[in-house]
Amino acid sequence: MNMLPNSIEARDIRSQMPAVADMRKHEETGSLVIERGEGIYVFDNNGKRYIEGLAGLWSVAVGFGEERLAKAAYEQMAKLPYYHIFNYKTHSPSVDLAEKILSMLPFEMSKVHFASSGSEANDLSVKLVWYFNNALGRKDKKKIIGRIKGYHGVTIAAASINGLPRNHESFDLPLDRMIHTSCPSYPHFGKDGETEAEFTARTLQELEDLILKEGPETIAAFWGEPVMGAGGVLIPAAGYWEGVQKILKKYDILLVADEVICGFGRTGKMFACETYDIVPDILVLSKQLSSSYLPLSAIVINDKLYQVVADESHRIGSFGHGFTASGHPVVTAVALENLKIIEERDLLGNVQHLSPMFLKGLEELATHPLASSWRGIGLLGAVELKPGEKVGVMGTKVADRMQEEGLIIRGIGDAICFCPPMIISEEQIRDMFAVARKALDLVAAEQA
């Protein structure tokens, strides 16, 4: 990339350490500079428009440039720009949002606690699970089961639950309390001649075998995304979640459902737990909770956990956890307005209406000579590409070309992943897939 010494791109290279990047490559190429957003579009510093086909990072439900969220932030900033929830203090926005979340859930839960990211929320959930078992005198019941291809964040405990090597390599992770079981994606991990039902049975048996090998008395919790996002939009096999819950109940193991990506309408239900009939002990939320206009996450716990944790905090004098920004008044005020927009504009209905068209677009894209299959639910999906000379790089290669053509998505391994804002229209879906096909054609032409 040719750039002027004092350009924003050059200054970025000199001053910032990038996220999820090859830093030496970043030094050579620089980064795309996004200056503003409007609806499903973002614009770079040269004025070029892009369809944001991943909603930022799976998160901008209401689209970019929503004035109601800016107004909510301003009004709360003017009234109470900051306060904490430490030492028996609180404020209206955090209480209002906690009540709103509890009222939206399809199952009974007890309490909400806020943090600033999905990573933090998952880390807190790990601590809470350990706290819970210590309170019950179960000192050995501390192991956490994650899944191959699972993703729960990048803090130490959350990254350890991940089933993605890139989050472990050179970080001295995972922690030794974290163990992993099979990924429930039948297209990726089914054996030759194995039916989906047989695959589900085998995957569930592998989970139970792991529990018995480690000892049920040592297993504290199972972590899972209803649909695996950052692992490549991996859809669970039929019967998987029903079977998982039976096994966890049998061995008294807590279930943590990570809906950081799936929550607030993405799968066609307000929560993916409803899509798959999951009733968790802990629910982890973020991203579309505030449309990522401001950083926010939440954990929601059931009464079984709350009563034990509350008793233990009373016994020792305090629940020794809290972040400076937990329940931040400006952030929670914006999130509350964001949820109002999702409901008032019936964005869940928009997802349900447009999902067949979106999934058909994925199916048609999968007929391209470079593609092999597709998968999706709601407004969340992926197209699997045929591997190039090196397995696992085609997704990024095609995603880069799509960006050149005006579409931002995410390449993960040999897949290209789509997760547009929930405000997207029929015409915009057609435009998105037209750009995607054009980019695939150009990559194919280069390889011919």
CB contact set of 27 (below 8 Å; sequence gap of 6+): 13
- Per-residue model confidence (pLDDT) at position 289: 98
Task: Check whether residue 366 and residue 318 sit in a common domain.
Answer: no
The C-alpha angle 431, 435, 438, rounded to 5 degrees, equals: 140
Q: Examine residue 8 and state whether it is found in any structural domain, yes or no.
A: no
Rounded-to-integer distance, Cα 336 and Cα 98, Å: 9
Rounded-to-integer distance, Cα 214 and Cα 193, Å: 30
Rounded-to-integer distance, Cα 150 and Cα 161, Å: 8
Task: Check whether residue 309 and residue 228 sit in a common domain.
Answer: yes
Cβ atoms < 10 Å from Cβ of 404: 11
Q: Examine residue 137 and state whether it is found in any structural domain, yes or no.
A: yes
- Average pLDDT across each block of 10 residues of the chain; the chain has 448 residues. List them in order: 86 95 94 98 98 98 98 98 96 98 98 98 98 98 98 98 97 97 97 98 98 98 98 98 98 98 98 98 98 98 98 97 97 98 98 98 98 98 93 94 98 97 98 98 92
Q: How many domains does the chain have?
A: 2
Q: Examine residue 355 and state whether it is found in any structural domain, yes or no.
A: yes
Give the residue from 398, 341, 337 showing the smallest Cα distance to 368: 398
Q: Where are the alpha helices (DSSP H) in 261-317?
A: 272-275, 303-316
Q: Examine residue 272 and state whether it is found in any structural domain, yes or no.
A: yes
225-236 residues labelled b (16+ CB within 10 A) or e (exposed): bbbbbbbbbbbb
Give the residue from 25, 20, 21 showing the smallest Cα distance to 1: 25
- Per-residue model confidence (pLDDT) at position 349: 98
Task: Check whether residue 327 and residue 370 sit in a common domain.
Answer: no
- Per-residue model confidence (pLDDT) at position 306: 98
Task: Check whether residue 131 and residue 237 sit in a common domain.
Answer: yes
Task: Check whether residue 92 and residue 173 sit in a common domain.
Answer: yes
- Per-residue model confidence (pLDDT) at position 237: 98
Q: How many residues does the chain have?
A: 448
**Using the 8-state DSSP alphabet, how is residue 369 labeled?**
T
Residue 323 region, left (φ>0) first, then alpha (ψ -120 to 50), else beta?
beta
Task: Check whether residue 322 and residue 360 sit in a common domain.
Answer: no
Query: CA 103 → CA 93, 96, 270, 300, 322, distances in Å?
Result: 15, 11, 12, 12, 24
Task: Check whether residue 232 and residue 218 sit in a common domain.
Answer: yes
Task: Check whether residue 384 and residue 275 sit in a common domain.
Answer: no
Residue 409 belongs to a domain with what CATH number? 3.90.1150.10
Task: Check whether residue 139 and residue 44 sit in a common domain.
Answer: no
Give the residue from 380, 415, 376, 420 showing the smallest Cα distance to 397: 415
Tell me the pTM.
Answer: 0.96
List residues bridging with 28 in a β-sheet.
Answer: none
Task: Check whether residue 295 and residue 414 sit in a common domain.
Answer: no
Q: Can you state the angle between helices 426-447 and 347-365, rounded to 10 degrees?
A: 20
- Residue 257: give the domain boundaries: 70-344
**Using the 8-state DSSP alphabet, how is residue 17 labeled?**
P
CB 413 within 8 A of CB 392: yes
